[in-house]
Structure 1
Amino acid sequence: MTRYAGGPAESPGFLLWHVTLRWQRAVTAALAPLDLTHVQFVLLACTWWLTEQGHTPNQQDLATQAGTDIKMTSQVLKTLESKGLLERHPSPTDARAKTVHPTPTGKSLARQAITLVESTDESFFTPINTPSLLTTLTALTEP
């Protein structure tokens, strides 16, 4: 049994799942010409953003910023490094950590990808984009 008389079509979680899948497909399609997966984009963009803000992020900083698992983050960063989009160096303050720096190519691609993803977001969310939508989404991200 379900509490929703109309079944899954009335379940907020089920609807959010479907919206998320539709949005992810749109972002994936936008990033395909750049040869970036969605998670590669997120980690490259986070690296670029934190660096632009004057930080020297390590892998843990990036995982925290992106909301990703640290082991998966490490694997994706290795892929981005092999593509020549970022470099990882031993941290001068923590022998166990590696700092992450976008290469010039990575910075350029991050800016290009951010523009594409923001355009995709604008197209996707325009019909429902209101201040209350951002307030609701922000509230849902809080623990």
Structure 2
Amino acid sequence: MAVEEVARTEFEHADESPGLLLWQVTNRWQAAHRTALTPYGLTHVQFVLLASLTWLTSRSGEPVTQRDLADHAATDPMMTSQVLRALEQKGLLERRDHPTDRRAKSLASTESGAALVNRAIGAVETCDREFFAPLGDRTPRFTDSLHRLRDRDFG
């Protein structure tokens, strides 16, 4: 007969674990975003990269490289490359010769890519507003806490 090992944890109940709760909430938030983005034919990461590219281009006017985009969006460079290929195949972005670095390519949203992401932003912001509504006036404090966790160096 097998002896069952009891999970050793500092928590009396699983719901006391901030990591488990964050994971569960993140899964629900991602599901809400999948639903919100379905009409636009975008995955969440495609949306984030296309929106980031559009934002970076409009703010700086400087050429945006794949590395710039991955850094800004805090995404893995290899995954970023794969997603950018998919966006390029959909005709939502294009790669151009970089004006000052012959080894690099700059990225640009196509006209249809910029139009699509601008429509999708409204759906994503509505989704977030509804998702985080239960926090009420605590939302800014929650956002500040998320910034602190994101910006911490886990080295």
Q: Does TM, normalized by the shorter one, top 0.5?
A: yes
Aligned to 1:40: 46
Larger Rg: 2
Alignment of 1:44-55 (within 5 A): 44-53=50-59, 54-55=61-62
> How far, CA to CA, are the matches of 2:22 and 2:103 in structure 1?
38
Give the match for residue 24 of structure 1.
30
What is the TM-score normalised by the length of structure 2?
A: 0.88
1:81 maps to 88
Unaligned runs of 5+ residues in structure 2 are 1-7
Q: Structure 1 segments of 4 or more deviating over 6 A?
A: none
Q: What CA deviation, in whole Å up to 9, does each residue of 1:53-92 have, x standing for no partner?
A: 0232110011011111111111111111111111111222
| Counterpart check, 1:134 vs 2:140 | no
Number of aligned positions between the proteins: 142
Q: Aligned residue for 1:108?
A: 115
Taking only the aligned residue pairs, the percentage that are identical comes to 51
Q: Which amino acid aligns with 2:74?
A: G
Q: Which amino acid aligns with 1:104?
A: E
Residue number among 12, 19, 42 corresponding to 1:5 in the alignment? 12
Whole-angstrom CA distance in 2 between matches of 1:138 and 1:108: 29
Deviations 1:88-126 (A, max 9, x none): 112222233211001110110111111110100000001
Which ranges in structure 1 are unaligned for 5 or more consecutive residues?
A: none
- Secondary structure of 2:126's match? helix
- Once superposed, what is the RMSD of the aligned Cα atoms? 1.0
Alignment-mate amino acid for residue 58 of structure 1:
T
TM-score by length of 1: 0.95
